[in-house]
Amino acid sequence: MNKINYQNELDKIIEKNISEGKIPSLLLHACCAPCSSYCLEYLSRYFNITVFYYNPNISLKEEYEYRLNEEKRLISLMDFVNPVRIIEGEYKPKNFYDAVKGLEDEPEGGKRCVKCFRLRLEASAQKAKELGADYFTTTLTISPLKNAGLLNNIGAQYAEKYGVNWLYSDFKKKEGYKRSIALSREYSLYRQNYCGCIFSKNAAQK
Ligand code: SF4
């Protein structure tokens, strides 16, 4: 089976909106400022963006808040073609621990991460629906450590369930990941050395 090029899917959606003279609204689930940097630079040319910081997986609370503040700082510093605003989701780590129960010892990229993606993307679909956003997507596909196919499948499933449009993406294409590193340097962004949950933190310290 041919692998889908999700960047091509995104290109098609952008081209269609341009040809119709539209600047649609987008709910962009964001995991952290470094991953958001390129996604915002790129997507704000074509969308009005609401960044949705929803990451109950992040441990500890101080780390969660630090990443959130970096996200806000980045948005305040960058110049955007179209407006970007940020809203915060509920920080209830219990929701994450309940979702990944029994999968605590899974390696990064395994079954625990699937549950973590589901938790965050379902909440994003619900928020996009509530706000009447034209599309929703996530910055997570920029990471070389994350499976873009899996993220796009999950996103598309929740899009169907909640009646909102999923914006396909693979932000690491077009040198997106490289650009995020350059932008992180330019804005002196905090780049964490673990994904987010306590299990990934413990694994990074081994
Ligand atoms: S490693 Fe990252 S994606 Fe996987 S469960 Fe932990 S925070 Fe979520």
- Using most ligand atoms within 8 A of CB, pick from 143, 197, 201 the residue to mutate for ligand 1: 197
pLDDT at 147: 95
Spatial separation of the C-alpha atoms in residues 94 and 178, rounded to whole Å? 34
- Using most ligand atoms within 8 A of CB, pick from 96, 98, 108 the residue to mutate for ligand 1: 108
43 lines ligand 1 (CB under 6 A): no
Spatial separation of the C-alpha atoms in residues 83 and 76, rounded to whole Å? 11
Q: Does CATH place domain 6-204 in 3.40.50.620?
A: yes
**Local confidence pLDDT in tens for the 206 residues of the chain:** 568 999 999 999 999 999 999 999 999 999 999 999 999 999 999 999 999 999 999 999 999 999 999 999 999 999 999 999 999 999 999 999 999 999 999 999 999 999 999 999 999 999 999 999 999 999 999 999 999 999 999 999 999 999 999 999 999 999 999 999 999 999 999 999 999 999 999 999 88
pLDDT at 53: 98
Q: How far apart are the CA of 141 and the centre of ligand 1, in A?
A: 13
Q: How far apart are the CA of 10 and the centre of ligand 1, in A?
A: 25
Angle, CA of 41, 56 and 82, to the nearest 5°: 20
Nearest atom in ligand 1 to the alpha carbon of residue 199 is 6
Q: How far apart are the CA of 154 and the centre of ligand 1, in A?
A: 15
CA atoms within a 13 Å half-sphere pointing along the CA-CB vector of 153:
8
Q: How far apart are the CA of 22 and the centre of ligand 1, in A?
A: 35
Going from N- to C-terminal start, the domains of the chain cover 6-204
CA 108 to chain centre: 17
Spatial separation of the C-alpha atoms in residues 200 and 193, rounded to whole Å? 9
pLDDT at 206: 81
Q: How far apart are the CA of 57 and the centre of ligand 1, in A?
A: 7
